[in-house]
């Protein structure tokens, strides 16, 4: 049982930075805070972090309406129809808002749980150096891979 507990701790320390990242960025995406709509324009950092979450790249992506296949090449996009989802906020059912609220609670709980797990894993071990190396590796590997 001690071996299983040690493996659980090591794996948890290694993946905790990514779990925290996905919990936070996922909670922002629940309410479309990563996309421009109406007068709202998200900060560039939130757009880039959402791009990492969704597309695994750290760059601004422009998710405009799909191009009109009938339009001439080089012509500006047609403004005849609003982009998909542009008016969904006004029509969202109460059950959808409740589900989004529940998933927000799950994301917050996951972030708190991962943070507590990090604290326990870093303070309640005799192998503190290994624990810190696992957390650092779990943080740096995704950052290096994004930079490549």
% of the chain beyond a pLDDT of 90: 47
Which of 2-11, 27-36, 104-113 is most confident? 104-113
Q: How confident is the model at residue 76 (pLDDT cuts 50, 70, 90)?
A: low
Q: How confident is the model at residue 80 (pLDDT cuts 50, 70, 90)?
A: very low
The answer to whether residue 148 scores a pLDDT higher than 60 is: yes
Q: What is the pTM of this model?
A: 0.70
Tell me, what DSSP letter sits at residue 40?
B
pLDDT for residue 112: 97
The answer to whether residue 47 scores a pLDDT higher than 50 is: yes
131 and 13 Cβ atoms separated by less than 8 Å: yes
% of the chain beyond a pLDDT of 70: 80
Report how far residue 85's alpha carbon sits from residue 65's, in angstroms, rounded to the nearest whole number.
Answer: 10
Q: What is the dihedral of CA 71, 75, 79, 81, to 10 degrees?
A: 20
pLDDT for residue 7: 93
pLDDT for residue 72: 55
Q: How confident is the model at residue 49 (pLDDT cuts 50, 70, 90)?
A: confident
> What SS3 class is residue 37?
strand
């Amino acid at each position: 049982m001690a071996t299983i507990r040690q493996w659980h701790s090591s794996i948890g320390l290694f993946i905790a930075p990514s779990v925290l990242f996905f919990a936070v960025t996922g909670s922002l995406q629940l309410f479309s805070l990563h996309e421009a709509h109406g007068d709202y324009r998200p900060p560039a950092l939130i757009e880039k972090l959402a791009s990492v979450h969704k597309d695994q790249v750290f760059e601004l992506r422009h998710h405009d309406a799909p191009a009109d296949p009938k339009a001439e090449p080089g012509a500006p996009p047609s403004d005849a129809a609003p982009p998909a989802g542009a008016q969904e906020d006004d029509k969202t059912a109460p059950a959808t808002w409740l589900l989004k609220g529940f998933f927000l609670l799950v994301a917050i709980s996951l972030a708190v749980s991962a943070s507590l797990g990090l604290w326990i894993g870093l303070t309640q071990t005799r192998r503190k150096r290994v624990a810190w190396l696992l957390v650092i590796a779990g943080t740096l590997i995704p950052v290096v891979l994004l930079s490549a």
